[in-house]
């Protein structure tokens, strides 16, 4: 249910052109065609779904992390430990999306064999939108789960400084006639991308999203970003957990979910966790980021026939949508619904990007000598 | 991190006396000694941990649901479908705690064999505190997961009436020297028990917890309870999802987590879901409640050596606790910590119950002719 940036003066581009550009730039840097295509697909899928903060606007992040050495160009991804149901995958510092895709496929294959699969990953990097991986389960009529830890941005309850990532959770489950259920949520009140959008547009943050460096609630997006980007959160302050400040409205629950993600994605596979990620060497150079992920796949027909499950999902969704509405509201949404509708529309008429994003993509096209027509 | 009711004029009782009373009453009704002991243990564990809303104060609920026919006295619990990793358990309308304990044991046994176990349950009832089952994993050095759907109390985002339960999620993971991590959270801003405590004490609810029957935020606990208890939520209004009203502070995330719990606990096993629970027959008699649960167990050493995992947990916890604090705060908590400290103290000096609770327990003791000394 993330909203897109207001793009009044935006530029409309066909998704195929965006995917080609991203893939070409990464290949020009030395990434294999297969891996470049997966990264491109993840970024364009985010743009199509309206999660523009995780879309092609982030190509530059992948490029700069490859350059800085946080991300390795030719990783030797391998399974370190395995049972019929579980696997520990080492991403060898490679690009997040190909590592994560392979891990989720492994979970799905195991579920196909034995009923469920759980795969945790160490030595990985940003994987983009979590929903991409959870949704891989849908075409196989399974329930998919994806989570990842991330660079330090969110404060624990009663803490003044950031100590956890926005640690998202995604869960996807198929339905029959209705769109599938696809939850994809940062465990902070909002994702960092949303704060960036407010900052870019000069809008005041709602109270309850972030703390400044003194620990007070703030509406100043630029101040929050300056603090967080200066030495990875050491500037103080940060995003608030879902539920906000303190415990009165459940902030300890958002904090607890972020911690759960860090345990399953960081501690369980032996990846980075809390502030033990994106470390630098003595000269300030980037060490492997050591991001960790956790994936799950559940075969529905291990529990009940898939068609029964889907028919029940449709009935559950119908009941929720029939709930009497709050004054001024006309519709109750199921998670993923807004994004499926946005993607269908944009697949037809193109993705609208901010002019700054287009300029930055064009600069990469020029730098790496690849075409960018739109 | 649930807080207990203020019990200035409370009565202090030894946990053993409470467990004996609960077990004796249930046995006097016809429940088997084994099953009665499990229910008693779940209720007293809740009192010890400070979750008094789910403690022995709820004995009456179990008694009345046995009487009303929602809960069956002598259920034939059975595994309906099974893979090496998964099981679908039918609780045959039995008491929730014994059904849930058996399901969690099944998940743990499967994890022991193949690395992980996932068990979903249909035809069950209230199971008490979710943490009880997730924590069963700790003594086996595993990660435990427990969730359940529940009677209709919580509103979906943009909805005016309740359509989902407070659908709690519990996750437990062992640590080394530190207390284990034990998350146990309603996916609504607060549990219904907390609203009951405020109502009993005549306190105003904080805004952000509940809606009245017009869809407006309310501080009136009695009004919320009257609406919800009149025909299972048909009075209108209800609890707000974690994140509050609308989407600005993430209310759609709490709603999405509640829906995830209903999919895994209700739709997947073919149990009740949304308002398809606690139904009555044409004469208004109770049909089996058909509550559903979902349990997971993950063997840590399928991923990395347990001692390494525990040492890393200790380091993660140490780092979180060392975060600079907000003004006026002296301590950052890990989930479960308050409850472990409370339980240790109460195990020594007894559980303090509200005088009304003690009077009600005494009434059951008298009615069923069992001793209650304290």
- From the list B256, B276, B315, the residue facing A185 with the nearest CB is B256
Would the CB atoms of A115 and B259 count as touching at under 8 Å? no
- Residue A140 vs residues A94, A134, A144, A248, A353: alpha-carbon distances, Å: 26, 11, 10, 41, 32
Q: What is the ipTM of this complex?
A: 0.96
* H helix intervals, A165-293: 192-200, 221-229, 251-262
pLDDT interval class at B229 (50, 70, 90)? confident
Closest CA to B109 of B132, B137, B129, B131: B137
- From the list A158, A159, A189, the residue facing B249 with the nearest CB is A189
Q: Does B267 touch chain A (CB under 8 A)?
A: yes
Q: Could you say which residues from 180 to 219 on chain A have a Cβ atom under 8 Å away from some Cβ of chain B? A: 181, 183, 185, 189-190, 206, 208-209, 211, 214-215
pLDDT tens digits, residue range A95-109?
A: 999 999 999 999 999
Rounded Cα distance between B235 and A256, Å, is 33
pLDDT interval class at B374 (50, 70, 90)? confident
Q: Which residues of chain B have a CB within 8 Å of the CB of A257? A: 183, 185
In this structure, how many other beta carbons lie within 10 angstroms of the beta carbon of residue A294? 28
How many CA atoms within 13 Å lie on the side-chain side of B140?
Answer: 23
Q: Does A59 touch chain B (CB under 8 A)?
A: no
pLDDT tens track, chain A, 374 positions: 333 334 457 899 999 999 999 999 999 999 999 999 999 999 999 999 998 889 999 999 999 989 987 899 999 999 999 999 999 999 999 999 999 999 999 999 999 999 999 999 999 999 999 999 999 999 999 999 999 999 999 999 999 999 999 999 999 999 999 999 999 999 999 999 899 989 988 999 999 999 999 999 999 999 999 999 865 556 799 999 999 999 999 999 999 999 999 999 999 999 999 999 988 888 877 788 899 999 999 999 999 999 999 999 999 999 999 999 999 999 999 999 999 999 999 999 999 998 989 999 999 999 999 999 87
pLDDT tens digits, residue range B73-130?
A: 999 999 999 999 999 999 999 999 999 999 999 999 999 999 999 999 999 999 999 9
Q: Does B156 touch chain A (CB under 8 A)?
A: yes
Query: Is the separation of the CB atoms in B63 and B25 below 8 Å?
Result: yes
Angle (CA) A190 A195 A197, round 5°: 120
Q: At what angle do helices A15-29 and A59-68 cross, to 10 degrees?
A: 10
CB pairs < 8 Å spanning A and B = 273
If DSSP codes are grouped into helix, strand and coil, which group holds residue B320? helix
Per the prediction, chain B carries an average pLDDT of 94
Would the CB atoms of A244 and B248 count as touching at under 8 Å? no
At residue A278, the pLDDT reads 87
Sort A6 into a burial class: Cβ within 10 Å, 0-12 / 13-18 / 19+.
exposed
- Chain A closest-CA separation from residue B101 CA (Å): 19
H or E stretch at B65: helix B59-68
- Residue B148 vs residues B86, B97, B167: alpha-carbon distances, Å: 17, 12, 6
Closest CA to A139 of A89, A104, A114: A104
H or E stretch at B79: strand B78-82
- From the list B163, B183, B248, the residue facing A320 with the nearest CB is B163
pLDDT tens digits, residue range B9-38?
A: 789 999 999 999 999 999 999 999 999 999
Q: Which residues of chain A have a CB within 8 Å of the CB of B271? A: none
* H helix intervals, chain A: 15-29, 33-49, 59-68, 96-114, 130-134, 192-200, 221-229, 251-262, 306-321, 337-349, 355-368
In this structure, how many other beta carbons lie within 10 angstroms of the beta carbon of residue A171? 28
Closest residue in B to A207 (Cα–Cα): B249
Rounded Cα distance between A49 and A46, Å, is 5
Cα Rg of chain A (Å, integer): 20
Backbone angles phi, psi at A250, to 5 degrees: 95, 20
Q: Does B120 touch chain A (CB under 8 A)?
A: yes
Would the CB atoms of A249 and B1 count as touching at under 8 Å? no
Q: At what angle do helices B59-68 and B15-29 cross, to 10 degrees?
A: 10
- Residue A242 vs residues A251, B66, B241: alpha-carbon distances, Å: 6, 38, 11
Q: At what angle do helices A15-29 and A355-368 cross, to 10 degrees?
A: 40
Query: Is the separation of the CB atoms in A99 and B315 below 8 Å?
Result: no
Average pLDDT (B290-298) is 97
Query: Is the separation of the CB atoms in A242 and A253 below 8 Å?
Result: yes
- From the list B245, B252, B324, the residue facing A160 with the nearest CB is B324
In this structure, how many other beta carbons lie within 10 angstroms of the beta carbon of residue B74? 11
Would the CB atoms of B114 and A302 count as touching at under 8 Å? no
Q: What are B259's two structure tokens?
A: 């829906």
If DSSP codes are grouped into helix, strand and coil, which group holds residue B371? coil
Query: Is the separation of the CB atoms in B120 and B88 below 8 Å?
Result: yes
pLDDT interval class at B151 (50, 70, 90)? very high
Rounded Cα distance between B288 and B20, Å, is 27
Closest residue in A to B250 (Cα–Cα): A189
β-partners of residue B120 are: B88, B294
- Chain A closest-CA separation from residue B180 CA (Å): 12
CA dihedral A222, A225, A230, A233 (to 10 degrees): 140
Query: Is the separation of the CB atoms in B73 and B30 below 8 Å?
Result: yes
Q: Which residues of chain A have a CB within 8 Å of the CB of B312? A: 267, 270, 273
At residue B35, the pLDDT reads 97
Q: Which residues of chain B have a CB within 8 Å of the CB of A309? A: 267-268
Would the CB atoms of A86 and B116 count as touching at under 8 Å? yes
Q: Does B263 touch chain A (CB under 8 A)?
A: yes
At residue B200, the pLDDT reads 85
pLDDT tens digits, residue range B322-371?
A: 999 999 999 999 999 999 999 999 999 999 998 989 999 999 999 999 99
Closest CA to B124 of B238, B279, B272: B272
Backbone angles phi, psi at A27, to 5 degrees: -65, -40
Closest residue in B to A142 (Cα–Cα): B268
Q: Does A159 touch chain B (CB under 8 A)?
A: yes
Q: What percent of chain B has pLDDT over 90?
A: 87
Q: Pick the residue of A123, A237, A249 with the most B CBs within 10 A to test the interface with B by mutation.
A: A249
Cα Rg of chain B (Å, integer): 20
pLDDT interval class at B231 (50, 70, 90)? low
pLDDT tens digits, residue range A44-102?
A: 999 999 988 899 999 999 999 899 878 999 999 999 999 999 999 999 999 999 999 99
Q: Pick the residue of A4, A141, A250, A276 with the most B CBs within 10 A to test the interface with B by mutation.
A: A250
Q: Does B304 touch chain A (CB under 8 A)?
A: yes
In this structure, how many other beta carbons lie within 10 angstroms of the beta carbon of residue B283? 5
Residues 6+ apart with CB under 8 A from A352: A7, A10, A11, A12, A13, A346
Q: Which residues of chain A have a CB within 8 Å of the CB of B253? A: 183, 185, 242
CA dihedral B216, B220, B223, B225 (to 10 degrees): 110
At residue A200, the pLDDT reads 86
pLDDT interval class at B232 (50, 70, 90)? low
DSSP string for B161-204 = B--B----EEEEE--SSSPPEEEEE-SBSS-HHHHHHHHHTTPP
- Chain A closest-CA separation from residue B72 CA (Å): 23
Would the CB atoms of A85 and B335 count as touching at under 8 Å? no
Rounded Cα distance between B255 and A118, Å, is 25
Rounded Cα distance between B57 and B47, Å, is 9
């Amino acid at each position: 249910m993330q909203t897109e940036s207001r793009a009044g003066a935006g530029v409309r581009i066909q998704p195929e052109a965006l995917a080609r550009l991203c893939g070409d730039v990464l290949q020009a840097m030395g990434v294999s065609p297969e891996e470049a295509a997966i990264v491109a697909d993840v970024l364009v899928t985010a743009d199509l779904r309206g999660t523009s903060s995780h879309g092609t606007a982030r190509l530059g992040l992948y490029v700069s992390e490859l350059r800085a050495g946080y991300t390795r160009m030719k990783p030797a991804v391998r399974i370190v430990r395995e049972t019929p149901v579980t696997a520990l995958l080492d991403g060898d510092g490679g690009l997040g999306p190909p590592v994560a895709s392979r891990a989720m496929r492994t979970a799905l294959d195991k579920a196909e064999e034995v009923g469920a699969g759980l795969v945790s990953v160490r030595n990985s990097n940003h994987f983009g939108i979590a929903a991409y991986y959870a949704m891989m389960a849908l075409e196989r009529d399974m329930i998919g789960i994806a989570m990842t830890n991330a660079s330090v941005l969110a404060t624990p309850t009663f803490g003044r400084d950031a100590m956890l990532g926005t640690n998202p959770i995604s869960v996807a489950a198929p339905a029959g006639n209705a769109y599938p259920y696809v939850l994809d949520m940062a465990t902070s009140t909002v994702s960092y991308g949303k704060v960036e959008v407010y900052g870019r547009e000069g809008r005041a943050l709602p109270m309850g999203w972030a703390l400044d460096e003194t620990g007070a609630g703030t509406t100043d997006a630029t101040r929050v970003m300056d603090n967080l980007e200066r030495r990875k959160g050491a500037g103080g302050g940060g995003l608030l957990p879902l539920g906000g400040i303190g415990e009165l409205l459940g902030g300890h629950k958002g904090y607890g979910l972020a911690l759960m993600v860090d345990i399953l994605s960081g501690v369980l596979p032996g990846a980075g966790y809390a502030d033990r990620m994106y470390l630098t060497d003595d000269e300030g150079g980037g060490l492997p980021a050591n991001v960790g992920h956790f994936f799950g796949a559940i075969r529905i027909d291990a529990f009940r026939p898939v068609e029964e499950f889907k028919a029940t999902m449709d009935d559950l969704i119908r009941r929720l949508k029939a709930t009497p509405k709050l004054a001024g509201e006309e519709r109750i949404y199921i998670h993923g619904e807004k994004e499926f509708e946005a993607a269908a529309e944009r697949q037809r008429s193109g993705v609208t990007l901010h002019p700054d994003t287009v300029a930055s993509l064009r600069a990469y096209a020029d730098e790496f000598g690849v075409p960018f027509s739109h």
